[in-house]
Amino acid sequence: MVQIVEEGAVTLNVEGAFYNPRMKMNRDIGVAVAGALGISDYLDALAASGARGLRVAKEAKVDHVALNDVSPRAARLLEENAKRNGLEACEILSTNANVLMHQRHFEAVDLDPFGSPSPFIAAASRSAIGYIFITATDTAPLCGAHLKSGIRKYMAVPVKAEHHREMGARILLGATARELARVDKGMEPLLTYASEHYVRVYLKIARGAKMADKTLKGMGHLEQCRSCGRWRAIPGMACQSSGVCTFCGERADVAGPLWLGPIQNREHIRKTLAELEGSIARYDRAVRLLHLCAEEIDDPMYYDHHKLCRKFKVTPGSAESLVERLRSGGWRASRTHFSGVGIKTDAPFEVLNEVLCSI
């Protein structure tokens, strides 16, 4: 039985292959990123019905697109869908994704698995010459809800906290940075976001041992107090936490190693927005999301505005007014796409206390 869907500029038969319509915005942004970067060689390593890779080929006009799925049935469907959309030049493969990525190099490698990308990150790090794009839908392990699973998959300790969505993104970025470093590559995050049930990262690769060393300087740990909620970033691969909160003296948990460096590249986001805004009727949600990402400050993690007010026993005002008060005091501050009530700032916890109590 044929089950036809239309997405973007392509028409697909999705019968017998995995297709998630809720991930359309993810693919919308992915197509725009590929177009903004001018990619010429792209691998959709886990292609399923081909929605992502075929859209990249047709809409971003990438010269060479390879679509791979280990299932022979899915590969036949990929061939059908490529022909249906006049994309017979796309290379259709049916092999183990890790084997393929260890054997061949591609300018851009895109991992969009059903579940965790962790089994594929090492091979993708070896294969990708210019870019790696990764989707992770296993947010419970990444964000600390399933602690032991997160440790096994990403070799990092995720602490479940108010900023758990950004915690998950930075755990994923840290795991990828370490795999890239193993093959003498560094990375620069171009775009990082969390939406619904997944995290998505877009990374530019820099080759060479010096670039790998530079990237590892962006790694570190996070010290999180369970009592007062204060947290602080601790740079470096070696954890240097005392395990005691310096604000209230209670026990502090430690998360990491994770990525503490910048997660957004504003110039790249501006170019991606230019690609998206040409089709705003279809991409309005994606445009709003990217504007929020571009406005975030680079400092890691955020505070929940409502939880801060409860901790300091003050009546909540607007999150925007808190941001403005912090800025007027000389601190950097912004809202964040990770949470509708999230506040990012470089102000110390003590300053947050003073500002909130003075409103």
Q: Residue 246: what pLDDT?
A: 80
Quick one: 56 and 159 in the same domain? yes
Quick one: 175 and 310 in the same domain? no
Q: Residue 343: what pLDDT?
A: 96
For residue 356, give its domain range: 302-359
pLDDT of 308 > 70? The answer is yes
Give the confidence band of 237 by pLDDT, cuts at 50, 70, 90.
Answer: very high
Evaluate whether residue 295 is within a structural domain. Answer: no
Instruction: Please give the model's pTM, rounded to 2 decimal places.
Output: 0.96
**pLDDT tens digit string along 283-292?**
788 999 999 9
Instruction: Read off the pLDDT of each residue in 169-178 and give the average, rounded to a whole number.
Output: 98
**pLDDT tens digit string along 270-284?**
999 999 887 644 578
Residue that is last in its domain, among 243, 268, 293: 268
Cβ proximity of 46 and 35 under 8 Å: no
Residue that is last in its domain, among 242, 268, 294: 268
Q: Give the residue, 227 or 125, on which the prediction is more confident.
A: 125
Instruction: Read off the pLDDT of each residue in 102-107 and give the average, rounded to a whole number.
Output: 98
Residue that is last in its domain, among 268, 289, 316: 268
Please count the structural domains in the chain: 2
Instruction: Read off the pLDDT of each residue in 131-154 and give the average, rounded to a whole number.
Output: 96
Evaluate whether residue 280 is within a structural domain. Answer: no
| Percent of the chain clearing pLDDT 90 (strictly above) | 81
Question: Three-state SS for 112?
Answer: coil
Output phi, psi for 304, to 5 deg.
-80, 115
How high is the mean pLDDT of the chain? Answer: 94
Strand 91-93 to strand 64-68: parallel, antiparallel, or no bridges (unpaired)?
parallel
Quick one: 251 and 327 in the same domain? no
The CATH number of the domain holding residue 85 is 3.40.50.150
| Percent of the chain clearing pLDDT 70 (strictly above) | 98
Sheet of strand 128-136, all strands in order from the earlier edge strand to the far edge: 91-93, 64-68, 41-44, 106-111, 128-136, 198-207, 185-195
Evaluate whether residue 68 is within a structural domain. Answer: yes
**pLDDT tens digit string along 25-70?**
999 999 999 999 999 999 999 999 999 999 999 999 999 999 999 9
